[in-house]
A and B are shown apart, each in its own frame.
Chain A
């Protein structure tokens, strides 16, 4: 299950409540976008990159994932610095 949030109407307005005067047939459309989260990554005391869902992420970086998305984070077992 993915959480979505209201983004805008077809006219660009962004309030979830909309008041209209109907002067003829009309079509209105509500656009939704997935709710996303930032996943930040760090390693300590040394800087070791991780792989998140196949994407290399440096310490101090963040990636955006959708709400409800399962992610896999992989770090190396050992590193030499």
Chain B
């Protein structure tokens, strides 16, 4: 069941609020880069600044997916930033997802649960969208982190918490000095996975213009329609026309 989805197309309106640093960090809306749609959130990674959503209930089992891109990497050991923080109804931090540098161009995705850290070393590159999804599950005590649909971390720290608030952005920081971009946030009780599609089907006819019917929708010659990736479509054209 979807709990909350947003791609910042209506700026921060769907969110409960934002947290901004008075000097060097305020979440902002940008038109580039975007993963999908025409807007994304940008956060300068030098101070805590993020958008937060208070959920309609407490969720002991919750999935939070987002797309993340950074325009710069830090080599210095100990530099990190966290991009997802999950809090219970009291505001206590229960789980976090972040990226850390350990020097010489080595980076780790991090999954913190109840303060216990598990890491996964990855060849992270700047200016690339990563699909990051955390699964927090206090009913089983098995918490997972997925990168681009691949399970990369399992954290089996016990927790009795239920999640009430989702924070997205620079939720914790140790001076990264780059911009991070966030898009296509999906909060659900089931695995979201990477976005699929839509993809573009372009139809044309030659040497005359004849419309086609694609899944019941009339498409003129030269027209385009969006369909879900990996979907099956049926295209029908007339046997005879007069032109």
Contact = CB atoms under 8 A, between A and B. Distances in A.
A81 interface: no
Interface in A3-29: 3-6, 16-29
Contacts of B217: none
Given A3-B240, A5-B240, A29 B206 contact: yes
B24 interface: no
Contacts of B207: 32
Contacts of A5: 239-240
Interface stretch (B68-76, B185-193, B223-231): B223-231
Contacts of B228: 22
Interface in B180-212: 197, 199-208, 210, 212
A19 B227 CA distance: 14
Interface residues of B, number: 30
B216 interface: no
Chain A contact-residue range equals 20 to 34
Interface in B44-70: none
Contact of A32 (B197, B208, B231): B208
A16 B239 CA distance: 6
B208 A27 contact: no
A79 interface: no
A24 B204 CA distance: 17
A55 to B, nearest CB: 24
B116 interface: no
B239 A6 contact: yes
Contacts of A18: 234-236
B1 interface: no
Nearest to B211: A30
Contacts of A30: 203-206, 210, 212, 237
Contact of A4 (B227, B232, B241): B241
Nearest to A20: B233
Interface string A11-53: 0000011111111111111111001000000000000000000
Contact of A19 (B201, B234, B239, B243): B234
B206 A31 contact: yes
Interface of B: 197, 199-208, 210, 212, 227-243
Given A2-B242, A29-B205, 7 more contacts: A16-B237, A20-B235, A21-B232, A22-B199, A22-B231, A22-B233, A30-B237
The 10 lowest CB-CB distance pairs between A and B, nearest first, are A27-B202, A30-B205, A25-B200, A18-B235, A30-B237, A5-B240, A29-B204, A1-B242, A17-B236, A3-B242
